[in-house]
Amino acid sequence: MLRTVVERLKSERRRKRMRDRKREGFVSDGNGRYTLQVIARIYNDFPTKFGLPHQSGRIPELRGKIIFEAPYRNPDAVRGLEEFSHIWLIWQFSMAVRDGWTATVRPPRLGGNTRMGVFATRSPFRPNSLGLSCVRLEKVELDKKLGPVLYVAGADLADQTPIYDIKPYLAYVESHPQAAGGFTDRILEHKLKVDFPKDWLDKIPQQKRRALLEVLADDPRPTYQEDPDRIYGMEYGEWDIHFRVCKGRLSVCGVSQIVR
């Protein structure tokens, strides 16, 4: 009898927790797993992850636009957002989702040979494959068909990456100029010199050239690869950029238009 009462109380508590979680906006299967709703996607010039900046803000010239999914195209949802200069994006590493996870990863910026705890890195290979990026909000425009569209700069997301949430960046509580950067404080920054023949550079739309040059100077290769004879290919918008790197100099050796 007592056991029956205890089990009934436990069952009622579980149901109450489920009701509370539903009120909080989570969708749960009852086993500790939750479903997030994709609210928007970003659209930019990087159809693949190769060439993406290592972090948001590294290439401020990169432009993109965020378009909300149909259920979230309510202008009221972004009312007041235009007053902020920067926003946070919570998104999925949709091109790097794996089954399971490991406690340690090898950060590319450490040469791919040193292991660090996954929670001490920005690695995409995480238990929930979630990314967090701070980007500059350039403007908010209302489109008749698409609803509010956010124009952003400095993002490190690939084209059509799913976004789960958007929040304003609050400098008065989120800016910590004296914060310790862990192992990243010990990494020497370097920029490549870029040789881009004018005839090929002229093929790229003028408004996209500066961003492309900055991406190439930032060294889009995996940091553990150092083969001067290897030719790399990087998709950028409608173009396929081929290059090689030798002794700190990146030389573009081909530009071709992609036929989709």
Per-block average pLDDT, block size 10, for the chain (260 residues)? Answer: 55 55 52 87 95 92 98 98 98 83 87 89 89 98 98 97 98 94 82 96 95 95 78 95 95 90
pLDDT for the residue numbered 101:
85
Can you give the pTM of this predicted structure?
Answer: 0.84
pLDDT for the residue numbered 28:
62
Would you say 42 and 161 are in contact if contact means Cβ atoms under 8 Å apart? Answer: yes
Question: Are residues 163 and 225 located together in one domain of the fold?
Answer: no
Question: Are residues 127 and 237 located together in one domain of the fold?
Answer: no
Nearest CA to 213 among 189, 234, 188?
A: 234
Nearest CA to 139 among 87, 88, 214?
A: 87
The tokens describing 182, both together, are 């862990």
Domain count, the chain: 2
- CA 76, 80, 86, 87 torsion-angle sign: negative
- CA 121, 123, 124, 126 torsion-angle sign: negative
Question: Are residues 248 and 167 located together in one domain of the fold?
Answer: no
Instruction: Return the number of other C-beta atoms located less than 10 Å from residue 53's C-beta.
Output: 20
pLDDT for the residue numbered 23:
39
Domain boundary (155, 186, 217) is at 186
Q: How many CA atoms lie within 13 A of 55 on its CB side?
A: 9
pLDDT for the residue numbered 21:
45
pLDDT for the residue numbered 186:
81
The tokens describing 133, both together, are 């990026």
CATH number at residue 155: 2.40.30.70
Question: Are residues 167 and 232 located together in one domain of the fold?
Answer: no
Question: Are residues 220 and 108 located together in one domain of the fold?
Answer: no
User: Rounded to the nearest 5°, which phi and psi values hold at 117?
Assistant: -65, 140
Range of the domain at 47: 40-186
